[in-house]
Amino acid sequence: MYEVELKIRADHDAVRKRLADAGAERREAVVQRDTYYDAPHRDFAATDEALRIRRVERDGAEQARVTYKGPLVDDESKTREEYETGVGDGETLAAALAALGFEPAATVAKRRERFGLDGYAVTLDDVEGLGEYVEVEGEATEGDIEGVREGAAGVARSLGLDPERSIRTSYLELLLDGEP
């Protein structure tokens, strides 16, 4: 499975209004804390990969997930192969990774508000230290990446966002580079 994502810096109030006007379905609001890891056997920054434990606060409870993200596969979006699964205890997984030589690189904290629109997930992210962004995401198989990317661009345009201003850099990279 590939995650096709357009990420654009944007004012949430304006996008929220357009989402309401378009009849988008509000799905949830959560707080996420993503801890990214450096691998002992290769440089993820050089290979453009990521391994993270995501802790999600939802309705007063915390859940954890582990995600591997492969390198970007195109030049127009933030499309990459992704594997993700639930974890019963994020702290135990963190201890196991440490025992294997994986070290925490950085943590990204954000408040997310999620909507569904035209088969795409639209997420309003308020990222600590970076500000407000909107992500438009869809899932694709290898053969339909371009079509899903074009659909995501159409959704972005319908929300008053310019897909040409999409940022291919992750929040982690933006934070590490000191971007506002």
The set of catalytic residues is 36
Helix (H), strand (E), coil (C) string for 110-159: EEEEEEEECCEEEEEEEECCCEEEEEEEEEECHHHHHHHHHHHHHHHHHC
The letter for the amino acid at 14 is A
Distances (CA, A) of 114 to 82, 94, 134, 140: 19, 27, 10, 19
DSSP 77: S
